[in-house]
Amino acid sequence: MSTLANTLSKADERTRNTIDQWLTGSYDNDTKRIIEQWIQEGKEDELIDSFYKDLEFGTGGLRGVMGVGSNRMNKYTIGMATQGLANYLKKNFPNDTLKVAIAHDSRNNSPYFAQVTADVFSANGIKVYFFEALRSTPELSFTIRHFGCHSGVVLTASHNPKEYNGYKAYWNDGAQVIAPHDKNIIQEVQKITSVEDVKFSGDARLIERIGKEVDAVYIKELVQLSVSPEAIQRQKNLKIVFTPIHGTGIVLVPEVLKQFGFENVTVVEEQATPDGNFPTVVYPNPEEKEALSLAVKKATEIDADLVLATDPDADRVGIAIKNPKGEFQLLNGNQTGSLLVWYMLQAWKNKQLLTGKEFTVKTIVTTGLIEKISAAYGVKMYNTLTGFKYIAALIKALEGKEQFIVGGEESYGYLVGDKVRDKDAIASCAFIAEMAAYAKDQGKTLYENLIDMYVQFGFYKEHLISLTKKGKTGAEEIQQMMADLRQSPPTHLSGSPVAWMYDYANQKATNIKTGKTEEIHLPKENVLQFLTDDGSLVSARPSGTEPKIKFYFSVNEPLASAAEYEAVQIKLDTKIEQLQTDLKLK
């Protein structure tokens, strides 16, 4: 039989002390039994990985592998996070009767983790609106504002593999927390150094179960945003295939499509049942072709017009449309977002709704095509840092002065209207379907619309490279890559001179030719962008949550006609290849 001392030959003192605390502290017997079993079986790597650090409460909350340990998602790490958030709410709203909303997705343990969260909030005297069953992240955002809550939490790990779960914290505007609250909440959570500090015994009198009554209000608000109900009525038999990929989308997407007026929606049965094991896919991520394979197969069988797929917490949506060969082609987030912006601005213009006070939003790494389209309609477009919380903050800042129509980011997240303050795949599914109905009503397919958009505004093509650099040396390597780009920025990329360098960490834009600088009026973030004379844009951005650095490429060329599409596409692909070579990424 092994002992703690001889099992942990590679562990540092902090790891040993943390394990000892879990073995002797106020943790349940099942947890202690698992730790003791690992010790007896000599599972040193398992012990070290589970206890070598505390699962970090970052600016978006918690995310990690589920299991026993300080570095895992479990009752105790969630309890400590919730206690810290509860303490911060009390400090921030000392004279208010505090209220929060809680939702969860279809992941394993999500209902249990949501109950733990509700118990800790209620044990702290906070009123809890708690969804009776799984609900989407955007509905949680809506619910916070609907009930006038001070905060909210959704238990989800988005599109991560099945071993993961997460805890996303929201503020009273229905958006994920931003400065100064994000850092302040983190500090408050870090003060909870022991599970003895956590109030786990919930007060059932303060927990109110909610469900269909909130769904009804949310759906009604979304339907009121529809701009082409007549086109939908004429094209109500538009063939739509929808898959929730075993997630929460099944709860509301079919119903919202029905309420919008669509009568021919086919759900992919093999993926309709919520299941945290995601048995039919490798990753439940609508960005992955494999995740949409069953939906595309069904769409091919029934000759559908459109494929829609939502991720587990239904805040992101992927789509597939038919090309001229009759094959279903997946669109990337930049293409879908651009089409959605173009459709909404067309529809608003046709209905004479544009007054000059409307705006659209995108993130700095999302296609410049959205800016081009917005300008053509005389609509102001704003750039924000990466992350929908910044889009939400802008909507809040402009409330009552300018009207938000639509916005999005390249990672498959879009928002129509301001009823929700996070990316919303429920609403996006409805408006993408409306967009398809509008196109069909004009005798067009979405694919033809895509080409028409490129002819009118320019053919924009994007590419993303994500480099994983694990461990301490990997983090240092990423840091050095950014330092090198700052100190020795490229002068030419793909044969075109670099005109501007945007350094968001220093909040400065520098004209490479003249040396003239301009201030960037956005929060600091470690991102660099290089804009060339021919309009190519390269962005370098280290991930804040993973050991990765991402390079985003955006190139564009005029497209004279649909007949030239393939030739121009080859030209753009070649340009992207050369950009990678010039940056020594290939």
Q: What is the pLDDT of residue 7?
A: 64
**pLDDT(278) > 90:** yes
For the chain, domains (ranges, CATH) are: 53-210 (3.40.120.10), 218-225+235-457 (3.40.120.10), 459-582 (3.30.310)
Beta bridge partners of 404: 359
Select from 251, 254, 274, 273 the least CA-distant residue to 265: 254
Which tens digit of pLDDT belongs to each residue from 121-146?
999 999 999 999 999 999 999 999 99
160 or 471: which leads in pLDDT = 160
**pLDDT(286) > 80:** yes
* DSSP three-state, residue 505: coil
**pLDDT(2) > 60:** no
Selection from 234-238, 475-479, 582-586 with the highest mean pLDDT: 234-238
* Three-state DSSP string of 78-104: HHHHHHHHHHHHHHHCCCCCCEEEEEE
Q: What is the pLDDT of residue 44?
A: 87
Cα(179)–Cα(171) distance, integer angstroms: 11
Q: What is the pLDDT of residue 20?
A: 92
Query: Which residue in the block uniquely carries the two structure tokens 């044969």?
Result: 495
Confidence of residue 474 (pLDDT cuts 50, 70, 90): confident
**pLDDT(545) > 70:** no
**pLDDT(12) > 90:** no
Question: pLDDT exceeding 90 applies to what percent of the chain?
Answer: 90
Confidence of residue 102 (pLDDT cuts 50, 70, 90): very high
Average pLDDT over residues 296-301: 98
Confidence of residue 3 (pLDDT cuts 50, 70, 90): low
Cite the beta strand spans of 156-263 per DSSP E: 164-171, 207-210, 240-243
**pLDDT(480) > 80:** yes
**pLDDT(556) > 70:** yes
Yes or no: say if 458 and 372 are a contact pair by the CB < 8 Å rule. yes
**pLDDT(10) > 80:** no
Cα(517)–Cα(239) distance, integer angstroms: 52
Average pLDDT over residues 290-301: 98
Average pLDDT over residues 51-57: 90
- What's phi and psi for 155, nearest 5 deg? -90, 110
Cα(245)–Cα(429) distance, integer angstroms: 14
Strand 265-267's sheet: what is its strand order? Answer: 265-267, 240-243, 306-310, 317-322, 328-330
Q: What is the pLDDT of residue 256?
A: 98
Element (H, E) at 152: strand 151-155
Which tens digit of pLDDT belongs to each residue from 169-217?
999 999 999 889 999 999 999 999 899 999 999 999 999 999 999 999 9
Which residues are tagged catalytic?
158
Confidence of residue 14 (pLDDT cuts 50, 70, 90): confident
Q: Tokens for 492?
A: 């030419």
How many CB atoms are located within 10 Å of the residue 305 CB? 22
Which tens digit of pLDDT belongs to each residue from 338-349?
999 999 999 999
**pLDDT(584) > 60:** yes
Average pLDDT over residues 306-333: 97
Average pLDDT over residues 42-63: 89
Select from 490, 531, 539 the least CA-distant residue to 365: 539
Confidence of residue 1 (pLDDT cuts 50, 70, 90): very low
Q: What is the pLDDT of residue 299?
A: 98
Averaged pLDDT score across all residues of the chain: 95
Which tens digit of pLDDT belongs to each residue from 374-391?
999 999 999 999 999 999
**pTM (predicted TM-score):** 0.95
Q: What is the pLDDT of residue 544?
A: 67
How large is the C-alpha radius of gyration of the chain? 25
Confidence of residue 252 (pLDDT cuts 50, 70, 90): very high
Cα(130)–Cα(152) distance, integer angstroms: 10
Q: CB neighbours of 56 closer than 8 A, spacing ≥ 6?
A: 62
Average pLDDT over residues 75-93: 97
